[in-house]
Amino acid sequence: MAGRKSAKRSGEAEEAKGLPGLEPPPDVSVEEAHREAHHKGHRQRLYSRFLDGGPDALQDYELLEMILFAVNPRRDVKPLAKALIRDFGDIWSVVNAPPPRLRGYCVGEVSLASDKAVATLRAVGAAALRGMRQRVMDRPVLANWQSLLDYCTAAMAHQPMEQFRLLFLDRKNKLIADEVQQTGTVDHTPVYPREVVRRALELSASAIILVHNHPSGDPTPSRADVEMTKEILRAAHSLGIAVHDHVIVGKGKHVSFKAQGLM
């Protein structure tokens, strides 16, 4: 019986060798070899479409497929990519999701069980965010306002907890530091005006921009947000530090206190 199985596998392997660019190991069946060849052809087509037409030539799940190829070299990752975007909302939320939410995510036989898989997804998000941050650092903020808003939205809109971020500017309104001062709960972040001003003095900043997120997605300022802003304005003004704006980031939208006449 063992001899028959060995002969069958040997015959299947010989037949599979005829598939273009595929040399399956002896224990791979013809069906598996055909399936792998199909996946290989699909991947090559995605690569070609991406290189020829740019990222807009691919749908979000196809871009995510290309990332997943590196950690699932012999599996069909399309169902996994589609499920991730469906469950997390969009590709940015996937590549910035907390590791515990990603680890073990499974669709059929394909999963994100390994640290390599989770780290690969997270690295893509981290690289994109760092690139956006580098585009606004050491540049005049007021002349690059939209780039700053894009960066803050990318960094904060999908955070599960409120964050209070401080952007410190020099006399030429160049961004010299970007720091998350406090992290709170889903609907509150403790902010201490004296700490805000103290940090600005430590950095020799001439102006600051306040930014925080609303995990609910609705950036409408609360009464507490307005009162806290007034307290920081008073503390900063007494020491000659300008507060250019307070921006609340939601999901897909933001509110500027300055534009709303709230400061």
The enclosing domain of 161 has a CATH number of 3.40.140.10
Among 67-76, 121-130, 162-171, 231-240, the minimum mean pLDDT is found in: 67-76
Q: How is residue 113 annotated by DSSP?
A: -
Do both 23 and 116 map to the same domain?
Answer: yes
Do both 251 and 195 map to the same domain?
Answer: yes
pTM: 0.72
Mean pLDDT over 189-196 rounds to: 88
| Residue 77, in any domain of the structure | yes
For 80-133, write each residue's pLDDT tens digit. 999 999 999 899 999 988 899 999 898 888 889 889 999 999 999 999 999 999
Residue 185 has pLDDT above 70, yes or no: yes
Mean pLDDT over 9-27 rounds to: 47
| Residue 209, in any domain of the structure | yes
CA distance 165 to 175: 13
User: Angle CA(177)–CA(182)–CA(188) in degrees, nearest 5?
Assistant: 135
Do both 119 and 185 map to the same domain?
Answer: no
Do both 122 and 6 map to the same domain?
Answer: yes
Do both 118 and 165 map to the same domain?
Answer: no
Split into its structural domains, the chain has a count of: 2
Task: Give bridge partners of residue 247 from the DSSP assignment.
Answer: 211, 256
* Full residue range of the structural domain in which residue 160 is found: 140-256
Do both 117 and 11 map to the same domain?
Answer: yes
pLDDT of residue 27: 56
Do both 11 and 104 map to the same domain?
Answer: yes
